[in-house]
Amino acid sequence: MFSIVMAASMVSAPQSEGFFFKCFCHPAPVTYGCAGSYHGWNRGPVVSAYPVYGQVGYPVYGQYGYNPIVAAPPIVLPPPVVAPKEKSLYERLGGEKAITAVVDDFVARTAKNEKVNFFRKGTDKEWKPTPAQVDQLKKYLVELIGSATGGPQKYTGRDMKSSHAGMKITEAEFNAMAADLKATLDQFKVPAKEQDELFKIVGSTKGDIVEKSKN
């Protein structure tokens, strides 16, 4: 019986009397191959340095899976299917520059919307900001949106509950502000999917900002 061990020893183990190999059909090492007396169809084929495999009716090298090259066809695996990772909302919105432009437009729009009453006129929490305070508020908004959408920003302002406490903001005012944000996003041609994602974030602050459910 032929084996890889035999083939290796035939090639790489020259002995003093010439090449020698171990045929598993024989009890002792065999020099220059087995002449075939031990071999027959019942015992399996032999392949040796002698050209016995060329004999008529004798199995040839590679038959019955003895040749590992013939016996083991390469297994070709298909490439792994990896879904491309979606970009963060921050990236899809266009990063800090685009968010800053959105915030500028939105604050100017909502500040003049009477339905929002952003400055809380007529309440004991009226806000009379300096231009620097408006800039600071816009900076906070960019930080807040950036950090909530997957950007590198860190929000450094106060939390929503304490910064709006006592303003008596109604749900109608909150919704009027949301409509202003929608108008801004439409103007900047932000796609519906990104708008929906952003509104989920803004909507999640409602419980902390709205104090009165009705006007």
Q: How far is the CB of 74 from ligand HEM (least distance, A)?
A: 58
Structural contact between residues 74 and 88, judged by C-beta atoms closer than 8 angstroms: no
Task: Give the tokens for residue 31.
Answer: 């020099």
- Per CB under 6 A, 202 contacts ligand HEM: yes
Q: By C-alpha distance, which of 181, 192, 211 is closest to 120?
A: 211
First to last CA, the chain: 97
Whichever of 48 and 149 has its CB closer to ligand HEM, that residue is 149
- Per CB under 6 A, 166 contacts ligand HEM: no
- Per CB under 6 A, 198 contacts ligand HEM: no
Q: Contact with ligand HEM (CB under 6 A): which of 158, 161, 193, 200?
A: 158
Structural contact between residues 173 and 119, judged by C-beta atoms closer than 8 angstroms: no
- Per CB under 6 A, 142 contacts ligand HEM: no
Q: Contact with ligand HEM (CB under 6 A): which of 22, 205, 208, 211?
A: 205
List the strands of the sheet with 18-21, edge to edge.
Answer: 14-15, 18-21, 30-31
- Per CB under 6 A, 103 contacts ligand HEM: no
Contact mark string toward ligand HEM, 60..99, x via CB under 6 A: ----------------------------------------
Whichever of 3 and 147 has its CB closer to ligand HEM, that residue is 147
Instruction: Please tell me the number of Cα atoms within 13 Å of 158 on its side-chain side.
Output: 10
- Per CB under 6 A, 164 contacts ligand HEM: yes
Q: How far is the CB of 102 from ligand HEM (least distance, A)?
A: 13
Task: Give the tokens for residue 62.
Answer: 């590679």
Among the residues of the chain, which ranges form H helices?
Answer: 4-12, 68-71, 89-93, 95-111, 131-148, 160-164, 171-187, 192-203, 206-209
Contact positions vs ligand HEM (CB under 6 A)? 116, 118, 120, 127, 137, 140-141, 144, 157-158, 163-164, 169, 173-174, 177, 202, 205, 209
